[in-house]
Amino acid sequence: MEKIRDLIIIGAGPAGLTAAIYAKRAGLDTLVIDETGMGGGQIVNTYEVDNYPGLIHINGFDMGMKFKEHATEMGTEFADVTVTGVTKKDDLIYVYANDAEYVSKALIIATGAKHRALGIPGEEELRGMGVSYCATCDGAFFRKKVCAVVGGGDVALEDALFLAKGCSKVYLIHRRDEFRGAKVLADKVKETENIEIVYDSRVTEIIGEGSVNRIKVENIKSGSVTELDINGIFIAVGMDPNTELFKDVVELDKSGYIKAGEDCITSTEGIFAAGDLRTKKLRQVITAAADGANAITSVSEYFNNR
Catalytic residues: 134, 137-138
Rounded to whole angstroms, how far apart are CA atoms 279 and 90?
27
CA 258 to centroid of chain Cα atoms: 14
Question: HEC profile for 135-158?
Answer: HHHHHHHHCCCEEEEECCCHHHHH
| Closest to 118 measured CA to CA, from 146, 150, 142 | 150
- Give every strand in the sheet of 131-132, ordered side by side: 131-132, 232-235, 146-150, 169-173, 195-198
| CB count in 10 Å sphere of residue 121 | 13
Q: How far apart are CA 142 and CA 166, in angstroms?
A: 7
**What is the CA angle 20-21-23, rounded to 5?**
60
3 touches 31 (CB < 8 A): no
